[in-house]
Structure 1
Amino acid sequence: MEKLRVLLVDDEIMIREGFKRLFDWAGHGCEVSGEAADGMEALAQIDLLRPDIVIMDINIPIINGLKVIELTRIKHPETAFVIVSGYDSFSYCREALRLQITDYILKPVKL
């Protein structure tokens, strides 16, 4: 069975490294196929890698995570998004739901 491709998007390298090291991707049928540190890089990686799942922060440079999701939905509507954010604002959650995300997880994340 082919593994699900995952893209990690966060402007903090330690967060991305933590996700790569602390979660058993292979054990859950996934592989980390790429990373991005800002919204523009995320959009480019999504077009290039066509990940099945994008795990991202909302507060990233250049283009925020919600706008990345909105733009991705146009070209790749099948992509699943999981937001991992320190923001528990209802307006962020409402917008994320409108964009049909898969999950919204608050930092700090306990794996």
Structure 2
Amino acid sequence: MLLLKGKNQERDVFVAIADPTRRELLRLLADAEELPLHELTPHFQMGRTAVSKHLAILKEAGVVSDRKVGRETRYRLNAAPLQEVKDWVSFYEELWIDRVTLLKNLLEEE
């Protein structure tokens, strides 16, 4: 399990992406090279502070990075830590494909 330390906490990538708001932030960042907070906030029914807190959790998990450009902070997706999620889901996808195939074969025999 991938745990990254940040601000005296460890953030698991699975915990970071468990929240629908954070998954939507990742989707928005995947569609753009990088975005400032003021462009991300209008996509949500919450204020800048709340969106910023969600970004901080994603940053602690390593799936988002940021950089200062003048007075604004720009955020960008770092998809590498999501490989662990992909690997985990792939294992269960294969398991279910095997079970559905087995069920199909059993039903065809009857």
TM-score normalized with structure 2 length: 0.27
Task: Please identify the structure whose Cα radius of gyration is greater.
Answer: 2
TM-score normalized with structure 1 length: 0.27
Q: Which has the higher strand share?
A: 1
